[in-house]
Amino acid sequence: MSPLTTIGLPIALGIIMFGLGLSLTVGDFARVLKQPKAVVVALLCQIILLPAICFGLVLLFQLPPVLAVGMMMLAASPGGTTANLYSHLFRGDVALNISLTAVNSVMAVFTLPIITNLAIVYFDPFDDQLGLQWAKTLEVFAIVLLPVAAGMLVRRFWPAFAKGMDKPVRIASVVILVVVIAGSVASNWGLLVENFARLSVITIVFCVISLSVGYLVPRLIKVGRRQSIAASFEIGIHNATLAIVIAVSVLGSDELSLPAAVYGVLMFFIAFGFGFLIRERAGADAGEIDETDAAEETAPA
């Protein structure tokens, strides 16, 4: 593992999570209570349904143990801030995305280590060596929540500074992330090429299923269309960067990070195509306006 990867990736993720904190307020968590059905459905899909589906896919595709655990880590990772952008582009409920991302980030501190440890126990990729270990949860806590909390505190006490820093932090996080991931890919090029064909199929299938589950399950229980679009992108666009950082920095395995690395590239194109698909579907259902959507459209600005 190169210093660029071991040091740069956590810094990049820290900046990304700090930027997320700059966009959050306590009200984003409180807003969850106003849309309990949409939130509960999305979280259940994220925490229970998707890891179960991913486990089935891993067995179906007969992945080697290390890559199998990497896929399970990806499935356990929360939605990323990219989901907010896609939701905005395809007219989802961005406020719900922000709330889901906030709650997901907190819950991931507990759910990600649990699912990863169970996967390590089942697939045994480290030849009986200890894997993530429950004590490593503290590292996950530091990686996920501390930068978010710092960003929220800055916004709370220095709102003008937070507003001014929002765009520079977003740009910096993207630039640093691209440089670090490019360096990581270059240093593990042979390993990535060797496994890309095998991983591309399962990651594409997993991404399509994640997006579909996120949209169709809420619709089946009468959640509004805009909320369903938000849930779709929140569930379908996983925080691949977080999975990569934990694989490399916490578990010390470049190979574990490969599923997230492949997924992180392909998901942008898949999510974009899926967004057009559900937008055309909404156009085909012309005239149908959900009660939730209608209430939002008639609400005062």
Ordered structural domains, the chain, with CATH: 3-296 (1.20.1530.20)
Query: How far, in Å, are 19, 27, 104, 116 from residue 169 at the CA level?
Result: 6, 22, 21, 30
Examine the pLDDT at 132 and tell me if it is beyond 60. no
Place of tokens 């992330």: 177
- Cβ within 8 Å of residue 13, ≥6 positions away: 143, 147, 241, 242, 245
Which amino acid does the sequence have at 190?
Answer: G
Give the Cα-Cα-Cα angle 24, 104, 126 (nearest 5 degrees).
Answer: 130
Q: What is the pLDDT of residues 48-78, one digit of tens each?
A: 999 999 999 999 999 999 999 999 999 998 8
User: pLDDT digit string (tens) for 172-219?
Assistant: 766 766 666 666 666 667 777 777 888 999 999 999 999 999 999 999
Q: Is the pLDDT of residue 268 over 80?
A: yes
The three-state secondary structure class of 238 is strand
Q: Is 79 helix (H, G, I), strand (E, B) or coil?
A: strand
CA pair distance 227, 250, nearest whole angstrom: 35
Q: What is the H or E stretch that residue 60 is in? A: helix 50-61
Cβ-defined contacts of 105-111 (< 8 Å, 24+): 105/17, 105/20, 105/78, 105/144, 105/145, 105/148, 106/145, 107/43, 107/47, 107/78, 108/76, 108/77, 108/78, 108/140, 108/144, 108/242, 109/137, 109/140, 109/141, 109/144, 109/145, 110/137, 111/47, 111/76
- Output the six-digit token pair for 163: 């507003």
Could you tell me the pTM of the whole model?
A: 0.77
Task: Give me the percent of the chain exceeding a pLDDT of 70.
Answer: 77
Per-residue pLDDT tens digits for 78-126: 876 778 778 878 888 877 887 887 788 788 888 888 898 889 889 987 6
What crossing angle do the helices spanning 258-284 and 82-89 adopt, rounded to 10°? 20
